[in-house]
């Protein structure tokens, strides 16, 4: 076999993949080590490879710098060791802005500086439902407002989600049980295909690495298996620029894991991910300490959106309330809020300087609920969330920070106020002198923004509709 691979071109923040043939005997998942050092001028990035079954080994790399790159592999297997190659990193294609990272302490942006507004949704097990339903989910997402999808790597066992998945992450042993030393490449190829489908739609994939809703034994694996799983997942998936890492959904319900385990999981992912994708962990009853340095942003389950500012001040990181309850009709307290309440919570989070996640749980004769399986959206909130997204994307690129209990803004040039369930008929604003503003009154449910006549400055009062869910947008004119 040649020790030199042919050259090619890869776009910035695309995926450069090295594919090699190697040994199949024994258990390559355990005994074969493979990595590569990718070099651009004086800079070197080391990336782990992985075994993809049938004698195929792969190394994936996401280049972030234009120009010539070269690589050399390293392995304990002679035929995989010392393979070299080179290629060119070219300009990104339209719509490719790179991975999302933290910007301005409390907000997000793509790697090229383009602002990113987190408008998330949850479909925990959508990638485990078979092609027909998964394709329907993707079709729904094409016209939905969401910029992020929370999704589980492992299949899920919970109410309304009792079907067996098509693929499993591990192979079976001779007794029919799981061989936790052997990953099933078919599962991982399918899963990464779905991550790629989201990428093509411009949607971030917030990958939930562990969760408690399990009947296959994945929630109770030993420490060695947990670590091997995390390293394999990062090696396969980190090169996708739309990946975020969530250590768990409701980490505090996993009784078999200790606080030290969660610290260890964060560290493994942090050490193995060459690109330092965003990292978080989601709670049920108690928070993980989001102040720890390996946590990039807060992923929170709470119905109390008015605490968003408090959490910003406490952790000094972006706050994403990924679960604020779900719009729907199921007989569960977390799954039957109205569309108006869902929209209300999105607005509350926004003017507190944070971000909110959507979910939908309408009863379905075949138990196809968006929150778990995907499919079709039935609720009235997504259109209103799209309206809010447009307002946020038209706002300051640096993001909104709280200015008082009712509103957020940026400097003295932009303000967004939201009055929620209150229904004032008049409101007085105290804005900086020497600046002229234009004012719009927003109906967050009807999705209208009505400009008020005249120019406004300093202290002024305006008439409001005297009904709930009203907002006001104020923008400087000079």
For the chain, residues classed under CATH 3.20.20.80 are 100-401
Non-local CB neighbours of 90 within 8 Å, separated by 6+ positions = 9, 10, 11, 12, 66
Strands annotated E in 52-169:
56-61, 67-75, 84-90, 100-103, 107-110, 115-116, 120-122, 148-152
C-alpha 344/C-alpha 379 separation (Å) is 14
CA dihedral 35, 273, 237, 373 (to 10 degrees): 150
Q: Is 166 helix (H, G, I), strand (E, B) or coil?
A: coil
Structure tokens at 258: 């200790």
Alpha carbons 291 and 471: distance in angstroms, whole number: 33
Numbered ranges of CATH 2.60.40.3950 in the chain: 411-476
- Which run of H or of E encompasses 190? helix 185-200
pLDDT of residue 7: 58
Give the C-alpha separation, 271 to 276, whole Å. 9
How many Å apart are CA 84 and CA 61, to the nearest integer?
A: 14
The token pair at 179 is 């061989």
Strand blocks (E) in 115-215 = 115-116, 120-122, 148-152, 170-172, 178-183, 204-210
Tokens 């968003």 sit on residue: 308
Handedness of CA 387, 358, 111, 127 (dihedral sign): negative
Distance (Å, whole) CA 46 – CA 70? 12
Q: Give bridge partners of residue 80 from the DSSP assignment.
A: none
Question: Which DSSP category does 164 fall into?
Answer: P
The secondary structure of residue 91, as a DSSP letter, is P
Instruction: Find tokens 């998942």 and name the residue.
Output: 29
DSSP letter at 303 equals S
412 token code pair: 């003295």
Q: pLDDT value at position 4? A: 52
Calpha distance 282→250 (Å, rounded) = 5
Other CB atoms closer than 10 Å to residue 231's CB: what's the count?
16
Q: What pLDDT, on the 0 to 100 scale, is given for residue 400?
A: 98
Q: 255: how many CB neighbours lie within 10 A of its CB?
A: 9
**Owner of token pair 């590569």:** 36
The answer to whether the CB of 452 falls within 8 A of the CB of 440 is yes
Predicted pLDDT at 376:
98
- What is the C-alpha separation between 58 and 474, in angstroms, rounded? 53
Predicted pLDDT at 478: 75
List the chain pLDDT tens, one digit each, 478 residues. 445 555 589 999 999 999 999 999 999 999 999 999 999 999 999 999 999 999 999 999 999 999 999 999 999 999 999 999 999 999 999 999 999 999 999 999 999 999 999 999 999 999 999 999 999 999 999 999 999 999 999 999 999 999 999 999 999 998 989 999 999 999 999 999 999 999 999 999 999 999 999 999 999 999 999 999 999 999 999 999 999 999 999 999 999 999 999 999 999 999 999 999 999 999 999 999 999 999 999 999 999 999 999 999 999 999 999 999 999 999 999 999 999 999 999 999 999 999 999 999 999 999 999 999 999 999 999 999 999 999 999 999 999 999 999 999 999 999 999 999 999 999 999 999 889 999 999 999 999 999 999 999 999 999 999 999 999 999 999 7
| Residue 319 in tokens | 């706050």
Q: Give dist(CA 363, CA 326) in Å, integer.
A: 12
The span from the CA of 304 to the CA of 348, in Å, is: 9
Half-sphere exposure of 104 (CA within 13 A, CB side): 17
Give the span between the Cα atoms of 125 and 147, in whole angstroms: 18
What is the CATH architecture of 411-476?
Sandwich (2.60)
Alpha carbons within 13 angstroms on the beta-carbon side of residue 347 total: 31
Rounded to whole angstroms, how far apart are CA atoms 112 and 100? 9
| Domain range 100-401, its CATH number among 3.40.50.280, 3.20.20.80, 3.40.50.1400, 3.40.1350.10 | 3.20.20.80
Taking the C-alpha atoms of residue 422 and residue 433, their distance in angstroms, rounded to an integer, is 28
What is the 3-class SS of 402-443, one letter each residue? ECCCCEEEECCCEEEEECCCCCCCEEEEECCCCCCEEEEEEE
CA distance 107 to 278: 12
Give CATH 2.60.40.10 domain extents, the chain. 9-90
pTM: 0.97
Assign domain 9-90 to a CATH class: mainly beta
Q: How far apart are CA 76 and CA 21, in angstroms?
A: 14
Pairwise CA distance, residues 113 & 90, whole Å: 18
Q: Which pLDDT belongs to residue 6?
A: 52
List the alpha helices (DSSP H) in 280-338: 308-315
The secondary structure of residue 4, as a DSSP letter, is B
């Amino acid at each position: 076999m040649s020790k030199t691979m042919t050259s090619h071109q890869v776009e910035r923040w695309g995926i450069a993949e090295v594919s090699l043939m190697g040994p199949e005997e024994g258990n390559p998942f355990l005994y074969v080590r493979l990595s590569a050092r990718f070099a651009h001028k004086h800079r070197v990035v080391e990336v782990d490879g992985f075994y993809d079954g049938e004698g195929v080994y792969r190394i994936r790399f996401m280049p972030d710098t234009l120009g010539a790159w070269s690589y050399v592999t390293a392995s304990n297997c002679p035929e995989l060791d010392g393979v070299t190659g080179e290629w060119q990193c070219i300009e990104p294609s339209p719509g490719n802005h790179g991975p999302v990272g933290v910007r301005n302490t409390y907000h997000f942006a793509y790697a090229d500086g383009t602002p990113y507004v987190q408008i998330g949704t949850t479909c925990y097990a959508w990638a485990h439902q078979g092609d027909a339903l998964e394709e329907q989910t993707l079709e729904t997402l094409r016209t939905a407002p969401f910029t992020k999808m929370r999704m589980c790597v492992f299949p899920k066992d919970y109410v309304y989600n009792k079907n067996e998945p098509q693929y499993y992450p591990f192979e079976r042993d001779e007794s029919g049980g799981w061989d936790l030393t052997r990953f099933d490449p078919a599962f991982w190829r399918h899963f990464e295909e779905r991550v790629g489908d989201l990428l093509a739609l411009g949607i971030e994939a917030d990958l939930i690495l562990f969760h408690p809703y399990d009947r296959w034994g994945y929630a109770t694996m030993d420490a060695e298996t947990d670590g091997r799983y995390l390293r394999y997942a990062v090696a396969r998936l980190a090169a996708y620029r739309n990946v975020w890492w969530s250590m768990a959904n409701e980490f505090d319900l996993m009784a078999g894991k200790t606080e030290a385990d969660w610290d260890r999981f964060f560290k493994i992912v942090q050490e193995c991910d060459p690109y330092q994708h965003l990292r978080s962990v989601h709670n049920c009853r108690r928070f993980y300490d989001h102040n720890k340095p390996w946590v990039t942003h807060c992923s929170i389950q709470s119905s109390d959106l008015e605490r968003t500012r408090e959490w910003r001040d406490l952790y000094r990181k972006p706050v994403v309330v990924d679960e604020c309850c779900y719009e729907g009709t199921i007989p569960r307290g977390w799954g039957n809020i109205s569309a108006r309440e869902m929209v209300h919570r999105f607005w509350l989070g926004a003017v507190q300087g944070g971000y909110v996640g959507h979910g939908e749980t309408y009863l379905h004769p075949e138990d196809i609920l968006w929150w778990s399986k995907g499919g079709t959206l039935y609720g009235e909130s997504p259109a209103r969330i799209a309206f809010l997204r447009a307002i946020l994307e038209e706002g300051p690129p640096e993001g909104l920070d709280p200015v008082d209990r009712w509103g957020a803004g940026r400097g003295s040039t932009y303000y967004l106020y939201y009055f929620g369930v209150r229904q004032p008929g008049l409101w007085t604003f105290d804005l900086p002198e020497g600046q002229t503003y234009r004012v719009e009154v927003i109906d967050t449910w009807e999705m209208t923004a009505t400009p008020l006549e005249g120019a406004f400055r300093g202290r002024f009062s305006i008439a409001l509709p005297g009904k709930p869910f009203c907002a006001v947008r104020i923008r400087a004119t000079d």
